[in-house]
Structure 1
Amino acid sequence: MPNNKRIVFAINSLAGGGAERVLTTLLGGSAPWRNRYDIHLALLDDEERAYQVPDWVQVHQLDAGHKLLPSLTQLRGLLGRLQPDATLSFLTRANVANAWAMAGRGKPWLISERVNTSAHLGSNVSAHAARAMVRFAYPRAAHVIAVSEGVVDDLADNFGVRRARMSAIANPVDHDAIVRLAAEEPAFVPAGPYIVAAGRLVPNKNFALLLRAYARADLSERLLILGEGPERTALATLAASLGIADRIDMPGFIANPYALLARARAYAMPSNAEGFPNGLVEAMACGVPVVATNCASGPSEILARSPRHAINAGIDVEAGALVPTDDVNAFAAALRRVLSEPRRTACGAAARARSLDYGVERAATNYWDRIEAALAAPPAPAPSLNDNVRLRQGVTS
């Protein structure tokens, strides 16, 4: 349709991950806008795709190899050919590449920040360049969509993004798809009733805390941890040292986690930091009670409808429990409370009810409202190509 405006979404890849799943869910919920816009998707890295997009989305595969400089140059080349009317990117490297690629084009570009940026980038020497790029690029976006109010606060306080240019839109949960997938036979069957946790095996997810809390709680249920990552060996070693290795299952990445989530007795989220905890809400959509840390950002907004700073200690909530970060005793005690009946059944029902606030239609409408507002307004100031030195540093995710 030649008169349609062209919108390009960009992300690192569609390999397994929460942001990737959210983007494909949003695209799937964008059907009402397909007759008004030509919708494109740019993938920076050539990786096997864990998620599919609608066939009416035009996909452009790049091959940046997880590196920033090829991401900058390849995305700029692609957008030079496509001449989009607006762009929207997901994940830090794609966001920085979007800023570079849209520089000087006079068109609005938006970014979606999926993580608590300060926690994600860290504070070591190698993180300084990445932080500098975020401070340079993000304030120049036409709009920044954060996944939680905690992420908005972090970007405003630490990266110079004006609050007037930001909004928080919670990640969508495709309840219909979850119900359908939950009814399938699970790809892995634990040897008995189990608690489930899910996420990349990296330090910020703090599965070490979960192992220690699980050992201290002395539960009859097994512990199932879904996901893959560099911490696998260290976690297996820790489980052995705690004497619980024979009660821990770590089957790696599972394409359909919902079949396992729906059959779990509880969901555990021990993270030190989140942008928006997709797995938490998806477990709630399966009717599973939850125990989560009150980390930045998102869990307190989901479970207690309150900002993180308003909760100073662990609390019981309708859907389960919210506990301080890195507190083994509190997490263990919360697991025991939530697993006891009749509390477990009541929490599961409350979790399902709360998850309905995170529907696909609402999220898709909110995203497209921001895109259309940006199209109707003068574009935000874009980085100059003369600033390329500051954009050629080491953001890789």
Structure 2
Amino acid sequence: MTGSSPQRRRVAFIINSLAGGGAERVMCTLLRASEEERRDVDITLILLDQEPAAYTVPDWVRIEQLDCRHSFARSLGQLFTALRRLRPDVVLSFLTRANIAAALACRALGIAAVISERVNTSSHLGTGGGAMVARLLVRLCYPLARKIIAVSPGVADDLADAFGIARAKLMVIANPVDLDGIRRQGDEAPAVVPGVPYIMAMGRLVPNKNFAMLIEAYAQAEMSEQLFIFGEGGERENLQGLIGKLGLEGRVHLPGFCANPYAILKHAALFVLPSNAEGFPNSLLEAMSLRVPVVSTNCLSGPAEVLADVARERVTEPVTFAPHGILVTPDNVADMAQGLRAMKDPERRASYAEKAERRAADFSVARAKNAYWDALRAEMTPPAAASGAPLRAQ
């Protein structure tokens, strides 16, 4: 990597790890797209936890590996030490723990912090004592950042309405979709060859993704295709039990995490997103970029903006035939089953496949990368020299 000099600026990207997940994939996509910026900026990636990486970053990105072991206290202490040594001009963090730690450490060190909220915060933090503490930390610490980037208008609204974040601090940048990269991976040999027509879903096997609802709806819809749900997580045993209870062995499959799901996704008859909440529906757009028709819950946040190009509140029907895909009521087996049955129509399926591919093109990597770097460069200027004009949301 090019050595630092007084004229070069320094930017640190911060995330928990590069384990499999949408935020981690977006972080790596953003870094890979930033080759032009490295001509005048030194880029460091700080990983809080030592976990096996599911994604790679360019070899010109300096990596600082910490060992916080999922602990917030260790994250704050080790990140403070690393930033004090690196002295970046600005940092960009992804995910709630990294965001809170970055906001606190940067405020103490006088470093500009830009944090990016990847999820609908209220839904993601859940309930209980630990959630109450996390909510308080978000409310107290997020305002310490110079700028907060939300991945959808719904996420920004939640931060403002539920956590009191000033609208002037918020901006929206939709996640990038590496269309060319996804299509290249889609052309590779698949790790799993179903050998039969299939419907596909993917994501971590956690309650919020609500694959249980999808399995029940699939049974009710009596689809001819088999169902493959790619991903790993703590809900595996419960989902396997539900599959057995519904007599769906041999028709519903949980193959686990797949490093390249796109080679399998490309040949799916249909992609389904059954989540209760999303920050931004990465997998939905990835499927659409491969010309796969989609059915999604109208959850917070993002599917309505992607499929209907309107705010979620404006989609009021239980099953909506939106311009770019079908939206159904979240956590509703009957409505999801109706959405699935609607996609049995081959003409509707073909029409939505064509519309999906066109819509995905609106979320290019270059567009998102430029918006992120505009935000970072604006915060590199010392506050005393700044114009004071608020950033315009992208």
Give TM class, smaller chain.
over 0.9
Q: 2:322 aligns with which of 312, 317, 322?
A: 317
Q: 1:130 aligns with which of 117, 122, 134?
A: 134
Task: Tell me the distance in 1 between the aligned counterparts of 2:115 and 2:56.
Answer: 21
Kept in 2: contact 1:117–1:154 (CA 8 A): yes
1:296 counterpart letter in structure 2: L
Report the equivalent of 1:21. 25
Q: Which moved more, 1:112-121 or 1:159-168?
A: 159-168
Report the equivalent of 2:391. none
Scaled by the length of structure 1, what TM-score is found? 0.94
Q: 1:338 aligns with which of 343, 359, 365?
A: 343
**Secondary structure class of the residue paired with 1:104:** helix
**Secondary structure class of the residue paired with 1:358:** coil
Report the equivalent of 2:387. none
Confirm whether residue 235 of structure 1 aligns to residue 236 of structure 2: no
Q: Please list every run of 5 or more consecutive structure 2 residues that lacks an aligned counterpart in the other structure.
A: 385-394
Task: Tell me the distance in 2 between the aligned counterparts of 1:160 and 1:364.
Answer: 28
Report the equivalent of 1:49. 53
Report the equivalent of 1:375. 380
Report the alpha carbon displacement of residue 106 of structure 1 after superposing the two structures with TM. 2.3
Kept in 1: contact 2:201–2:228 (CA 8 A): yes
**Secondary structure class of the residue paired with 1:246:** coil
Superposition map of 1:109-258 within 5 A: 109-258=113-262
Kept in 2: contact 1:29–1:361 (CA 8 A): yes
Report the alpha carbon displacement of residue 242 of structure 1 after superposing the two structures with TM. 1.2
2:274 counterpart letter in structure 1: P
| % identical equivalent positions | 52
**Secondary structure class of the residue paired with 2:362:** helix
Q: 1:88 aligns with which of 84, 92, 103?
A: 92
Report the alpha carbon displacement of residue 191 of structure 1 after superposing the two structures with TM. 3.8
Report the alpha carbon displacement of residue 132 of structure 1 after superposing the two structures with TM. 0.6
Kept in 1: contact 2:107–2:144 (CA 8 A): no
Superposition map of 1:354-393 within 5 A: 354-376=359-381, 378=383
Kept in 2: contact 1:5–1:85 (CA 8 A): yes
Task: Tell me the distance in 2 between the aligned counterparts of 1:219 and 1:145.
Answer: 40
Q: 1:30 aligns with which of 30, 34, 37?
A: 34
1:180 counterpart letter in structure 2: R
Report the alpha carbon displacement of residue 337 of structure 1 after superposing the two structures with TM. 1.3
Q: Which has the higher contact order (CA 8 A, sep 6+)?
A: 1
Q: Deviations over 1:70-126 (max 9, x none)?
A: 111111100010011111100001001101221232221110000000000012122
| Residue-pair matches, total | 379
Report the equivalent of 1:382. none
Task: Tell me the distance in 1 between the aligned counterparts of 2:108 and 2:132.
Answer: 26
Report the alpha carbon displacement of residue 376 of structure 1 after superposing the two structures with TM. 2.5
Task: Tell me the distance in 2 between the aligned counterparts of 1:136 and 1:233.
Answer: 37
Task: Tell me the distance in 2 between the aligned counterparts of 1:246 and 1:307.
Answer: 39
Report the equivalent of 1:273. 277
Q: Deviations over 1:7-32 (max 9, x none)?
A: 00000000111000000000111112
Kept in 2: contact 1:320–1:338 (CA 8 A): no
Q: Deviations over 1:199-231 (max 9, x none)?
A: 101111000110011000101100000000111
**Secondary structure class of the residue paired with 2:36:** helix
Task: Tell me the distance in 2 between the aligned counterparts of 1:185 and 1:249.
Answer: 20
Q: Which moved more, 1:334-343 or 1:40-49?
A: 334-343
RMSD: 1.0
Report the alpha carbon displacement of residue 62 of structure 1 after superposing the two structures with TM. 0.5
Q: Please list every run of 5 or more consecutive structure 1 residues that lacks an aligned counterpart in the other structure.
A: 380-397
Q: Deviations over 1:139-159 (max 9, x none)?
A: 121000000000000000011
Confirm whether residue 7 of structure 1 aligns to residue 24 of structure 2: no
Kept in 1: contact 2:87–2:111 (CA 8 A): no
Report the equivalent of 1:391. none
Kept in 2: contact 1:116–1:154 (CA 8 A): yes
Report the equivalent of 1:108. 112
1:211 counterpart letter in structure 2: I
Task: Tell me the distance in 1 between the aligned counterparts of 2:315 and 2:40.
Answer: 44
Report the alpha carbon displacement of residue 377 of structure 1 after superposing the two structures with TM. 5.2
Report the alpha carbon displacement of residue 66 of structure 1 after superposing the two structures with TM. 0.9
Task: Tell me the distance in 2 between the aligned counterparts of 1:258 and 1:11.
Answer: 24
Kept in 1: contact 2:99–2:115 (CA 8 A): yes
